[in-house]
């Protein structure tokens, strides 16, 4: 069974992330559900409950990522690691173009696909936030 992330540690993760999903970049303030302190390397894979292994994740990214450390790059079919928010820069792997999160590297493409970042409801919400100057 997974260990619960202590409140103080979860608060530090939330603050460091600026209350934004570190995968999808959505802001907690505009969501109806609480974001989670997600184990980047899951406890299933012996990832520790330490600040350097935690990222703030919206429920959709957290659930889709699950215990995955990698996925199949949709362009090449190659097994590719997922984005690691503590070790990699979001801007090196992703762009937002016309509201869509676009992976510009194999890591980015794979993470977008695994986390289903452009699902219709998510894309619609992101476009509305962009139009309102809130994304």
> What pLDDT, in 10s, does the model give residues 45-101?
999 999 999 999 999 999 999 999 999 999 999 999 999 999 999 999 999 999 999
What confidence score (pLDDT) does residue 94 get?
98
> What letter does residue 3 receive in the DSSP assignment?
P
**Domain residue extents for the chain:** 7-131
Q: What is the mean pLDDT of the chain?
A: 94
Give the pLDDT band of residue 3 (cuts 50, 70, 90): low
**Beta strand extents in the chain (DSSP E only):** 36-39, 54-57, 70-72, 79-81, 94-97, 100-103
Q: Which one has a higher pLDDT value, 50 or 30?
A: 50
């Amino acid at each position: 069974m997974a260990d619960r992330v202590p409140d103080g540690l979860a608060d530090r993760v939330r603050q460091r992330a600026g209350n934004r999903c570190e995968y999808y970049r959505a802001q907690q303030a505009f969501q109806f559900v609480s974001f989670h302190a997600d184990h980047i390397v899951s406890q299933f894979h012996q990832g520790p409950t330490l600040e350097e292994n935690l990222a703030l994740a919206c429920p959709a990214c957290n659930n889709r990522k699950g215990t995955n450390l990698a996925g199949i790059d949709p362009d090449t079919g190659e097994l590719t690691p997922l984005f690691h928010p503590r070790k990699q820069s979001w801007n090196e792997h992703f762009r937002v173009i016309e509201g869509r999160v676009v992976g510009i590297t194999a890591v980015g493409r794979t993470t977008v696909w695994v986390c289903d970042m452009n699902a219709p409801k998510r894309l619609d919400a992101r476009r509305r936030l962009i139009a309102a100057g809130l994304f």
